[in-house]
């Protein structure tokens, strides 16, 4: 029997969608291995989210009261719960937080770790993680041979399935340890209206938008669709938009249901950050642009005509 521990994550006091995604993924793994799923929530007032994770497969929800995020503290808390619950598999969100504390946890508990998994399956009693390699040009399948296997899972890569677990909640108080690093301030002024990593739809612009004054055209479409606003490195390097919007190998890696690329040629560095999107819509007046090779749908035309027309049509359809 192999039990699974998932570590949930919150943003501005709300449960992030990735928490439900990895709970559903953990449920499938536990069913295949004959184990149970424990969900761990760290923070203040997290007890209220126990039902949300129980509804998607958690047999038990462990809550730990803690202050603001600190990678050292979180690593100690997660490691303490692992030592208590003794799971064979641990799933962590592949977010800025998850990427910060998960390697520390792996060292503390002697676990192997695979980062940025986009697919999870079971073969021969072991979890197999599928992840992009070579800047997204290929995928590799990885098994971990250690007794404890940790996987960070890319947001929007797993389906949320309603399958109720027992959902029993319990409070725990593992040692937070003595953190040597302290966060003295946070600047969130550069954030997006909708977070890129978890967005279901992203409207992204490149050099073809011609200048920073034209971002409102793309923002209008994004607002209608409830989408996040992204950008290519060329647009960021030109100083047209903040780096927090950059999608690509040197920016954020995203897996939305729909990625709308406007005026983006499709350099390999950009494709590495969005190539796993379920649907890719490319709008470019250059019919030979590389982006069309990966696009699900392509529009050869002037984005300054196509995007406003799309915005108007979506306003009609979506009310």
**Which residues neighbour 235 within 8 Å (Cβ) at sequence distance 6 or greater?**
205, 206, 207, 209, 241
Q: How far is CA 168 from CA 43, 79, 130, 145, 319, in A?
A: 18, 21, 31, 31, 41
For range 48-66, the mean pLDDT: 94
Whether residue 57 is annotated as binding a ligand: the answer is no
Question: Percent of the chain, pLDDT > 90?
Answer: 78
Whether residue 104 is annotated as binding a ligand: the answer is no
Please name which of 198, 185, 103 lies closest in space to residue 151, comparing C-alpha atoms.
103
pLDDT value for 164: 84
Indicate whether 210 pLDDT > 90: yes
Whether residue 83 is annotated as binding a ligand: the answer is no
Whether residue 162 is annotated as binding a ligand: the answer is no
Whether residue 245 is annotated as binding a ligand: the answer is no
Q: Give the tokens for residue 278.
A: 């379920």
∠ CA 177-79-187, nearest 5°, is 65
pLDDT value for 31: 95
Whether residue 270 is annotated as binding a ligand: the answer is yes
pLDDT grade for 192, boundaries at 50, 70 and 90: low
pLDDT value for 188: 61
Is the separation of the CB atoms in 115 and 30 below 8 Å? no
Q: Which domains does the chain have, with CATH numbers?
A: 4-171 (3.40.50.620), 201-318 (3.40.50.1220)
Question: Percent of the chain, pLDDT > 70?
Answer: 97
State phi, psi for 193 to the nearest 5 degrees. Answer: -60, -45
Q: How far is CA 112 from CA 109, 133, 227, 302, in A?
A: 9, 18, 36, 49
Whether residue 97 is annotated as binding a ligand: the answer is no
Distance CA 231, CA 222 (A): 12
Residue range 148-183, pLDDT digits in tens: 999 999 999 999 999 887 788 899 989 888 888 888
Distance CA 10, CA 96 (A): 12
Whether residue 243 is annotated as binding a ligand: the answer is no
Whether residue 18 is annotated as binding a ligand: the answer is no
pLDDT value for 190: 54
Task: Find tokens 């920073």 and name the residue.
Answer: 212
pLDDT value for 153: 97
Whether residue 250 is annotated as binding a ligand: the answer is yes
Q: Give the tokens for residue 250.
A: 């040197």
Q: Give the tokens for residue 163.
A: 């399958």
For range 108-134, the mean pLDDT: 95
pLDDT grade for 137, boundaries at 50, 70 and 90: confident
Whether residue 94 is annotated as binding a ligand: the answer is no
Indicate whether 266 pLDDT > 70: yes
Residue range 222-250, pLDDT digits in tens: 999 999 999 999 999 999 999 999 999 88
Is the separation of the CB atoms in 128 and 117 below 8 Å? no
Whether residue 263 is annotated as binding a ligand: the answer is yes
Whether residue 248 is annotated as binding a ligand: the answer is yes
pLDDT value for 191: 53
The mean pLDDT value of the chain amounts to 93
Strand-pairing partners, residue 169, are 61
Residue range 274-287, pLDDT digits in tens: 988 999 999 999 99
Whether residue 125 is annotated as binding a ligand: the answer is no
Please name which of 302, 306, 280 lies closest in space to residue 293, comparing C-alpha atoms.
280
For range 5-20, the mean pLDDT: 94
Please name which of 274, 255, 266 lies closest in space to residue 293, comparing C-alpha atoms.
266
For range 19-36, the mean pLDDT: 96
Whether residue 264 is annotated as binding a ligand: the answer is yes
Q: How far is CA 212 from CA 122, 156, 311, in A?
A: 47, 29, 19
């Amino acid at each position: 029997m192999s039990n699974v521990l998932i570590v949930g994550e919150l943003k501005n006091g709300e449960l992030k969608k990735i928490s439900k995604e990895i709970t559903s993924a953990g449920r499938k793994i536990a069913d295949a291995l004959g184990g149970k799923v424990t969900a761990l929530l760290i923070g203040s007032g997290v007890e209220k989210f126990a039902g949300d994770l129980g509804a998607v497969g958690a047999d038990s929800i462990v809550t730990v009261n803690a202050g603001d995020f600190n990678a050292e503290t979180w690593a100690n808390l997660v490691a303490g719960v692992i030592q208590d619950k003794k799971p064979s598999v641990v799933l962590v969100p592949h977010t800025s937080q998850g990427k910060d504390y998960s390697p520390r946890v792996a060292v503390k508990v002697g676990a192997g770790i695979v980062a940025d998994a986009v697919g999870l399956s079971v073969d021969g009693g072991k979890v197999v993680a599928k992840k992009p390699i070579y800047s997204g040009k290929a995928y590799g399948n990885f098994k971990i041979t250690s007794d404890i296997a940790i996987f960070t899972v890319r947001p929007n890569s797993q389906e949320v399935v309603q399958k109720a677990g027992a959902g029993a909640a319990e409070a725990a108080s593992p040692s937070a340890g003595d953190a040597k690093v302290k966060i003295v301030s946070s600047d969130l002024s550069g954030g997006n209206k909708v977070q890129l990593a978890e967005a279901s739809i992203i409207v992204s612009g490149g050099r073809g938008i011609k200048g920073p004054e034209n971002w409102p055209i793309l923002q209008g479409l994004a607002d209608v669709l409830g989408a996040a606003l992204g950008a290519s490195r060329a647009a960021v390097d030109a100083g047209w938009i903040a780096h927090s919007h950059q999608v690509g190998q040197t920016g954020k890696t995203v897996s939305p249901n729909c990625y709308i690329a406007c005026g983006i040629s499709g350099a390999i560095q950009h494709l590495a950050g969005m190539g796993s999107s379920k649907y890719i819509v490319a709008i470019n007046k250059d019919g030979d642009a590389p982006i069309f090779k990966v696009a699900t749908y392509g529009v050869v035309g002037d984005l300054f005509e196509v995007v406003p027309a799309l915005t108007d049509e979506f306003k009609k359809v979506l009310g």
